[in-house]
Amino acid sequence: MLTILFDGIAYGMLLFVLACGLAVTLGLMNFVNLAHGAFAMAGGYVTAVLMNRSGVPFLATLPLAFIIPAILGLVLERTLYKRLYTRSHLDQVLFSIGLVFMAVAAVDYSFGSQQQLIQLPVWLQGRIDVMGVQVGLYRSFIIVICGALVVALQLILTKTRFGSRLRAAVDDPRVARGLGINVSLIFAATFAFGSGLAGLGGALGAEILGLDPTFPLKFMIYFLIVVTVGGTTSITGPFLASLILGIADVAGKYYVPSVGAFVIYTLMIVVLVLRPQGLFERAR
């Protein structure tokens, strides 16, 4: 029972790291980016390829799994995404679906359609017994890393100059620009950072979520649930939403496997209908 709770929390934390970049682009920058999972997949593949082909140790691949998707995100933002900020949501949806299709086929072409397996270092394998609860070492590792990231993000967003600039740029780009804030630079940096985080999440999650070319499509809905249910004005909303989703998903799969994802989708619809602004948000 507690083990399931623990696994659920680890899963939820992972979902949060994967999705928080989307919370920024979708929630703060108001861009419906269905291709977010593609960046996560990029991070996962960076780790998998480096480990399996070049023998780089797991931990050493993680920074790269952050940096490469971040650069990818930056390039795409500068060249393509930025043209679409002011376009209709339909355009954004179509554009990002197109990107997903391309990413799926391109990865399939380059690395094959099979699952990518990664071998965790020995000290992260296995489970230990903490006060009668079976705790997976790797999952504790994920919780620690993701927890640190959550705190850091919250601090960056609320305490730093960059954070207040970002919030200003989002609230009213025109006025922010008038005050001398370089809005497009901030958007680009944020987008790159969000993509990087997704990549890191993809690398950390390769072991738990599985990694194959259809990753962006499979998890797209989860990311969207986190963001739409969590609401988009703060970090805490999506964070709580991912924890709930993670625990519900793990527990659901364990106790009532026949019902499957049904409950989650239904819950999502109910939440969205009752509280279209998200669960943890005051209605505007």
| Chain Cα centroid distance, residue 54 | 26
Q: Provide the minimum distance between the beta carbon of 23 and other proteins in the complex, in angstroms, as a whole number.
A: 12
C-beta separation of 251 from 8 below 8 A: yes
108: three-class secondary structure by DSSP: helix
CA-to-CA separations, 180 to 125, 162, 169, 177, in angstroms, rounded: 51, 13, 10, 5
Nearest CA to 103 out of 23, 17, 215 is that of 215
Identified binder of other proteins from the candidate list 17, 18, 68, 104, rule CB under 8 A: 104
Identified binder of other proteins from the candidate list 94, 168, 189, 208, rule CB under 8 A: 94
279 near other proteins, judged by CB under 8 A: no
100 near other proteins, judged by CB under 8 A: yes
Sign of CA dihedral 124, 117, 246, 28: positive
Helix H or strand E encompassing 11: helix 2-22
The C-alpha atoms of residue 86 and residue 267 are separated, in whole angstroms, by 31
Identified binder of other proteins from the candidate list 1, 55, 180, 258, rule CB under 8 A: 258
Q: Which stretch binds other proteins (CB under 8 A): 14-22, 93-101, 127-135, 179-187?
A: 93-101
Q: Provide the minimum distance between the beta carbon of 42 and other proteins in the complex, in angstroms, as a whole number.
A: 16
265 near other proteins, judged by CB under 8 A: yes
Identified binder of other proteins from the candidate list 169, 224, 243, 244, rule CB under 8 A: 224
Identified binder of other proteins from the candidate list 52, 57, 88, 133, rule CB under 8 A: 88
The smaller minimum CB distance to other proteins, of residues 203 and 220, is found at 220
Identified binder of other proteins from the candidate list 2, 59, 60, 105, rule CB under 8 A: 105
Got the DSSP string for 14-73?
HHHHHHHHHIIIIIIS----TTHHHHHHHHHHHHHHIIIII---HHHHHHHHHHHHHHHH
Within residues 21-50, the interface with other proteins by CB under 8 A covers 26-27, 30, 32
Instruction: Note the residues at the interface with other proteins (CB under 8 A).
Output: 26-27, 30, 32, 80, 83-91, 93-95, 97-106, 108-109, 217, 221, 224-225, 228, 232, 258-262, 265-266, 268-269, 272-273, 276
